[in-house]
Structure 1
Amino acid sequence: MSNRESYPPAYRCVFNDGDSPATAEAEPVLIQDKDIDIPVIDLERLDKKILREVCMEWGIFRLENHGVPLALTSQVQEISKSLLNLPYENKRKLFDAVNSQITYFYGTPALNQSGDALPTRAANVNVVEGFYVPISSLSKLPASSTSDDDAQQSKLSSFRVLMEEYGRHAARIAKSLFEAIAQTLNLELSDDIRSAYLSESTGLLRVYRYPRISREAAGEALGMEAHRDSSVISILKEDESGGLEIMKGEEWFGIKPVANTFIVNLGDIMQAISDDEYISVKHRVKTKMNMTTERHSMGYFVLPERDFVIKSSKYKPFTYAEFEAQVKADIQSVGSKIGLPRFNPNSPLFL
């Protein structure tokens, strides 16, 4: 099977799998992006003074000594690639059969609570596909089968087991970082409030795949459009392909991958909690025609309980459910997320 067949039909006109003689003979146009070194935080030797400075000035950092076994991340990446490489129709049928506990999506990172793509008026093309994995639902997937006819279901069951283990590690990291960040803000949180911000029932994993782009499509399509996460904290594991960019000042900068590290960024909810002391960083994934491989990544998103009221001196009180509903409404009406300005009484975008 050509790798092209594993992608949705809408992507096959921009996809470059190296089969075209013209593509093979042409010299690639190298895109010289500006790269930037983001700060590094050592989870084993967490310096809260440095952490505070990073959260204020950057809103993003590289995490090392995180304690996640390299063998586990390798296995997760391998099985994720294997599932994403299934023919497009097979993927659709396989994940429909899971009763939407895990869903397959493509074309947009804007998903509803069930993991389905939101209708949008956006003109930007997002050349991305992946799996939406609500952690609390993983145990409900079917058990592994030993039948050769059920090889895909067996692979899906193995995927569940690995993702559950990975999710436990990601939740551990998120808890350690959140507690440290709360201390840098001098927040005194009860156990109930801490749990509400780090709800295991709303924790999400997303697995992403981005194709290599043909010469004709280069410059026209983004892997993922510019946005700020709606999370408390986001934890990203990426492969060696690159493509992640952040906005620093008024410029875009690329972040080079570093083996066995994670990228951690603060989301809108953390910015609200901090009364705007800390930054929800704007970022995107840029597709490049000179990429030699597909880009694969996996994000763990820490979300608060849906009915928990988030209070801030900069914003009117809101629940995460209200925030999510407003994001959905804006994407459907204007084509993009607006986010926190909708809840800021001093913003012209306040509702």
Structure 2
Amino acid sequence: MNNLESYPPDLRHQDRRQHPPPPNPDQDEELCDPDPVPIIDLECLHHDKLEEACKNWGLFRLVNHGVPLTLLKELQEVAKELFSLPFAVKEGACNGSPMTYFWGTPALTPSGTALPRGPQNMNWVEGFGVPLSQLSHFNPQLHTLESVRVLLMEYERHLWRIGRRLFEAMAKNLELDVEGSKEYLAEKSGMMRVYRYPNCPDTNVGWGMEEHTDSSVLSILNQDDQVGGLQLLNHHQWFNVKPIPNTFIVNLGDMMQAISNDRYKSATHRVSINKHKERISLCYFVFPDEEAVIENSKYKPFTYNQFRAQVQEDIKAIGQKVGLPRFHHYHNSQASLL
């Protein structure tokens, strides 16, 4: 697992060999911070609590989600096995398959392919992108990838159930037409990304993942239950989101903020580097139908397909995502955002 040959060359750091972990690496100071993240119980879904979490935080911890603990553990174990393979094996394993392998950047194209890396967008992360609608057509030659495929097919059914229920509750709170808003959450759009954040004694190398918002409607994170690193920006203050076993972290993305006419917030978050232990996380993203039109008082009519294309254009042109401000009614010129 800690074999340097398993990491992409860009993420190998020689200091890793010179600093053994302390006797109790789980006692990192970052995990001792108070965790104020709202808690939502899926079995007993309280609409007022959900409304408050979406408006004030854009992120919450989900309990009683109904996903078997055995499945969560198996996913973490097979992810560790996958990432421990030699870099060259991982790089070649996805050729000709819908699954993609990336490293060094969270900025991904719709297919999950990493955009070109550079000093401005280098991140201490590697991962696999899996378009879930294509899992049944995926016939991997690598045994570990086949194990991933089988587990993700079961996992997807649970995550879609959770995402749909949460979205329907949010739509009710927003007084959206239930039938008319169904196109805002498309099961076929589901994407899974499996991340590994290498540990590094020199945390000045950068971030595991830099500050950003997701473009999704909802993102559902199954994070490492031992190693922290996820941080949330709220009211101009960064909070550590503590890892707690058998819970999910759900955050709202840009599409949910737009659908809600800015009543809900897209969560700004980042991932820090752990000095002593690497971190594995699995995140499920779900989006609207590509041609579903989002239109309200704050935004010009736009589709997710248009939003995605604009994000890619901005990343290539200026090196970063601009996102929702591009589609605000008040946005009249590109120069006002640069």
Structure 1 length as normaliser, TM-score? Answer: 0.89
Matched position secondary structure for 2:128: strand
CA distance in 2, matches of 1:24, 1:78: 23
Q: 1:219 aligns with which of 192, 198, 204?
A: 204
Q: Which amino acid letter does the alignment assign opposite residue 188 of structure 2? A: S
Shift in CA distance, 155/41, structure 1 to aligned 2, threshold 3 Å: same
Distance apart, 1:189 and its partner CA: 2.5
CA distance in 2, matches of 1:41, 1:256: 15
Matched position secondary structure for 2:145: helix
- Structure 1 segments, 4+ long, off by >3 Å, are 24-28, 30-36, 347-351
Contact 2:97 2:138 (8 Å CA) reproduced: no
Counterpart of 2:10 in structure 1 is 10
Shift in CA distance, 24/142, structure 1 to aligned 2, threshold 3 Å: closer
Counterpart of 2:58 in structure 1 is 59
Distance apart, 1:2 and its partner CA: 5.6
Counterpart of 2:310 in structure 1 is 326
Q: 1:167 aligns with which of 150, 156, 161?
A: 156
Are residues 1:279 and 2:265 paired? yes
Deviations along 1:120-160, one digit per CA (max 9) or x if unpaired, are 666143010111000011111227xxxxxx6xx22221211
Contact 1:267 1:280 (8 Å CA) reproduced: yes
CA distance in 1, matches of 2:128, 2:291: 25
Contact 1:121 1:332 (8 Å CA) reproduced: no
Q: Percent identity among equivalent residues?
A: 48
Are residues 1:250 and 2:236 paired? yes
Q: Which amino acid letter does the alignment assign opposite residue 134 of structure 2? A: S
Counterpart of 1:146 in structure 2 is none
Distance apart, 1:80 and its partner CA: 1.2
Deviations along 1:20-54, one digit per CA (max 9) or x if unpaired, are 2xx239999x6658553200000000000111111
Structure 1 gap segments, 5+ residues each: 144-149
Q: 1:301 aligns with which of 266, 279, 285?
A: 285
Distance apart, 1:64 and its partner CA: 0.1
CA distance in 1, matches of 2:148, 2:5: 22
CA distance in 1, matches of 2:295, 2:36: 33
Counterpart of 1:264 in structure 2 is 250
CA distance in 1, matches of 2:64, 2:111: 33
Distance apart, 1:188 and its partner CA: 1.2
Distance apart, 1:346 and its partner CA: 1.7
Q: Which amino acid letter does the alignment assign opposite residue 56 of structure 2? A: E
The aligned length equals 331
Contact 1:120 1:335 (8 Å CA) reproduced: no
